[in-house]
Amino acid sequence: MRIRGGVGGIHFQFEELLAGAAALDGLVRQLQDIEVEAEAVRVALFPHQASSYTSGSNAIIAVGESGRDIGRVREQLQRIGNDVRASHREYEFAESHAAIRLRMGMGMPVLLTGPNLLDFGFRGATEGAVRDVTRILELMMGLPPAAANLSGAMVGLTDVGAVLRAIVAAPALAFLRPRPITVSRGETATKSVDLSAAGMLRELQLVDETSEGEIEVVEVDKDGERAWVVLIPGTQPGNPPGGSNPLDEAGIAEALGYNSTETSKAIRQALLEAGAAAGETVVAVGHSQGGIHAMNLSQDKAFLAEFDLKFVVTAGSPVGGITPQAGIGSLHLEHEHDWVPGADGKANPDTKDRVTVTMTNPVSLAPGEHQGIGPAHRLSRYEEGAKLVQLSSDPSLAASTATLSGILGVGGAARVSRFKLTREAPRTPRGGR
């Protein structure tokens, strides 16, 4: 596994160094104020020196020496703060220098974006190809490019969502545009559920194999407080696309191009019908397209105003372009031989609350297994990766695992409800039949 982000990520270490320097700056300012106050006290003692020369002189000397001692401590803290900032600059330079040399060694452009330098599989190749193709389409359609930060970490030059919206604006592709989704409750049962990342992916696979257009809502009782888990399957091919199942190929366009507007509403309604109350904790889990919908909840203002989304788990999902609200944790499972996570042309950001695990083990089809999108994209492969995450002692993964178990517990009896999502039929044009 390759691990990016979290408390063990280099960017978080950079943030910690700068936060430490900022804290030292605060102490320096406090000591400066005390120095000024001590000097004011020393000056105020001068008029009283004549009434008791010895004790007055001693007091003046003592206050003056105290002020000088404070000044020496302040200077030491300033030096430490400068050293911390220098360490940050040196680490950042070393990271940038290593990346540039690696790009040059691989014959890649130094100042342009590209796939993850360590990702030599389909995932990295797809990210680079999508970035290039999308930029060409942007130019052809006259769309403005996304901003790039060439002074630090490279960011994507593309906006896949804008390109998708421009494409589906064509009258012939109207069936791919988002349409309202109705929610109907299915069966509810009480059963034992493993609430680890691997256990939830295993439950998600069961949902995908036994239903079409359904999501699952799990009610968890942790120490007398309720929490909720939403399980969202991946793409279920429609015949034709854009039919009644909102998780078909048209659902990808809604997820990447329209921030899952209609699906997010449906998930919110499903939670309310399951009995979730405003302000209660939610964890969202999704595979492939379902992971995009799950991650889009983390930036959906209406959803976040109703529920307290704490954590998102995605498996094989292109979510690098989604920026969650601060404080929402996430675990992203990818495989270097799975092209789907690179389909938005962007790598997941390296932040404290966001951990990306890229599996690197070789994969092959089992006897009788269908090729599908590819063997590395199968949910069962990601379940195996999630098990490795639980066993890892890596600081980022250990913290992520602890956060998830702290929210949900380890599992046990839970109330599980299925909800059928149905996309409304397209409107018939006036004069049509």
Facing residues of 366 across strands?
none
Structure tokens at 426: 């397209």
pLDDT more than 70, % of the chain: 84
Q: Decide: 4 and 33 in contact? Cβ < 8 Å.
A: no
Residue listed under structure tokens 């696309």 = 241
Strands (E), 317-400: 329-335, 354-359
What tokens appear for 275 in the block?
Answer: 């009995």
The per-residue pLDDT for 107 is 56
Average pLDDT, the chain: 86
Task: Name the pLDDT band for 49 (thresholds 50, 70, 90).
Answer: confident
Mean pLDDT, residues 413-432 taken together: 84
Tokens representing 100 are 């540039």
Residue scoring higher pLDDT (157 or 347): 347
Tokens 């000397």 locate to 61
Tell me which residue has tokens 């896949």: 160
* 77 DSSP 8-state letter: H
The residues with which 189 forms a beta bridge, in sequence order, are 416
Q: What amino acid is encoded at 66 in this protein? A: S
Q: Look up tokens 């064509």; give the residue.
A: 170
Check pLDDT > 50 for residue 19: yes
What is the predicted pLDDT for the residue at 156?
40
pTM (2 d.p.): 0.78
Kindly indicate the confidence band of residue 149, based on its pLDDT and cuts at 50, 70 and 90: very low
The pLDDT assigned to 103 comes to 57
The 10s digit of each residue's pLDDT in 65-111 is: 998 999 999 999 888 888 888 877 787 777 767 766 765 665 555 44
Which tokens belong to 237?
């091919």
pLDDT of residue 102: 63
Query: Helix, strand, or coil here: 308?
Result: strand
Residue 53: what pLDDT?
83
The full set of domain ranges for the chain reads: 11-105, 171-364+374-423
Phi and psi angles of residue 250, each rounded to the nearest 5 degrees, phi first = -65, -25
Least confident range from 139-148, 192-201, 232-241, 385-394: namely 139-148
Is the pLDDT confidence value at 340 over 90? yes
Least confident of 34-38, 288-292, 369-373: 369-373
142: left (phi over 0), alpha (psi -120 to 50) or beta: left
| 400-406, Cβ contacts within 8 angstroms, sequence gap of 24 or more | 400/6, 400/329, 400/331, 400/355, 401/196, 401/197, 403/311, 403/329, 404/195, 404/196, 404/197, 404/283, 404/311, 404/313, 404/329, 404/331, 405/195, 405/196
Spatial CA neighbour of 314 closest among 277, 271, 344, 273: 344
Condensed to tens digits (0 to 9), the pLDDT of residues 292-313 reads 999 999 999 999 999 999 999 9
* Alpha-carbon torsion (340, 345, 350, 354), positive or negative: negative
Residue-level pLDDT at 91: 75
CB 335 within 8 A of CB 382: yes
